[in-house]
């Protein structure tokens, strides 16, 4: 298993890519393996800590840095964790890798068409109507990772296949046995 070794699995991708769904799938699988794991969902952290922060570049970077710090502390103290966060800027994700150390970046790649069909929060519908702007994955910035540890084309895979691929990669990287 893990033998008290902490690590962070960082799930990144535009809105609707399947990050939260995959994070819950990972949590279930790790639990079945007897490995407790913490999940940081970007929306949940935002709602609990600072619901009025907004979505400017600066606000997003600050939000990401708070999550990075939490994930770093858990990793340092031997607690595996999954971060489910759009994290649209490469520099912030690179900073996360540097700060956390035991880190795996997973890019959830999906077509915009699929994300619009999924639209779990109704955000794409609002963006299409012009009710919101700068939606990451529609008309907002998302800098795709240049060298993620793993790319998952979530619209071509089952949840089980995604989870299996991540666990295999975690083991390959030596983050757990």
Q: Looking at the domain assignment, is residue 121 inside a domain?
A: no
The pair of structure tokens assigned to 45 is 């952290």
* pLDDT value at residue 29: 96
The answer to the question of residue 1 being in a domain is: no
Residue 177 included in any domain:
no
Q: Can you list the alpha helix ranges (DSSP code H) found in 119-158?
A: 123-129
Show the DSSP H helices in 4-56 as ranges: 19-32, 42-49
Alpha-carbon span 38 to 143, nearest angstrom: 26
Res 64: pLDDT: 83
- Partnered with residue 81 across adjacent β-strands are 8, 38
Cα 117 from chain centroid?
A: 20
Q: If DSSP codes are grouped into helix, strand and coil, which group holds residue 45?
A: helix
Give the pLDDT band of residue 1 (cuts 50, 70, 90).
Answer: very low
- Please indicate, yes or no, if residue 176 is contained in any of the structural domains: no
Q: Which listed residue (31, 56, 87, 168) is catalytic?
A: 87
Is position 3 within any domain? no
pLDDT for 80: 95
Q: Structural domain tally of the chain? A: 1
Domain hosting 51: range is: 8-111+144-166
Instruction: Note the pLDDT tens digit of each residue in 94-121.
Output: 999 999 999 999 999 999 999 889 887 8
Is 80 exceeded by the pLDDT of residue 55? no
When pLDDT is cut at 50, 70 and 90, the band that residue 133 belongs to is confident
Edge-first strand order for the sheet with 8-12 is 38-41, 81-84, 8-12, 103-109, 150-153
The answer to whether position 138 is within a domain reads no
Active site residue 87: yes
Distance CA 92, CA 166 (A): 22
The length of the chain in residues reads: 177
Residue 62 belongs to a domain with what CATH number?
A: 3.40.50.300
Task: Answer yes or no: are the C-beta atoms of 162 and 22 closer than 8 Å.
Answer: yes
Residue 126 has pLDDT above 90, yes or no: no
pLDDT for position 168: 97
**Domain membership flag for residue 152:** yes
Per DSSP, what are the bridge partners of residue 84?
11, 41
Q: Which residues pair with 11 in a beta bridge?
A: 84, 106
Confidence band (pLDDT; 50, 70, 90) for 137? confident
Question: Any idea which residue has 């956390």 for tokens?
Answer: 100
Does residue 175 lie in a domain region? no
HSE value, Cβ hemisphere, 13 Å, CA-based, for 41:
15
Write down the residue that tokens 């089952």 correspond to: 158
> pTM for the complete prediction?
0.90
**CA-based nearest residue to 67, from 85, 55, 90, 48:** 85
pLDDT of residue 44: 72
């Amino acid at each position: 298993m893990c033998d008290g070794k902490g690590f962070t699995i960082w799930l990144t991708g535009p809105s609707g890519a399947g990050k939260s769904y995959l994070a819950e799938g990972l949590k279930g699988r790790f639990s079945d393996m007897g490995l407790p794991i913490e999940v940081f969902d970007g929306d949940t952290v935002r709602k609990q800590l600072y619901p009025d922060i907004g979505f400017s570049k600066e606000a997003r970077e600050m939000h990401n840095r708070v999550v990075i710090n939490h994930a770093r502390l858990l990793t340092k103290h031997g607690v595996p964790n999954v971060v489910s966060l759009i994290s649209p800027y490469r520099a912030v994700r690179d900073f996360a890798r540097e700060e956390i150390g035991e880190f795996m970046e997973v890019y959830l790649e999906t077509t915009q068409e699929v994300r619009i069909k999924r639209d779990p929060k109704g955000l794409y519908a609002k963006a299409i109507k012009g009710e919101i702007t700068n939606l990451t994955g529609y008309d907002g910035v998302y800098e795709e990772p240049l060298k993620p540890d793993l790319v998952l084309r979530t619209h071509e895979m089952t949840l089980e296949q995604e989870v299996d691929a991540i666990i295999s990669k975690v083991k390959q990287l030596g983050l757990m046995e």
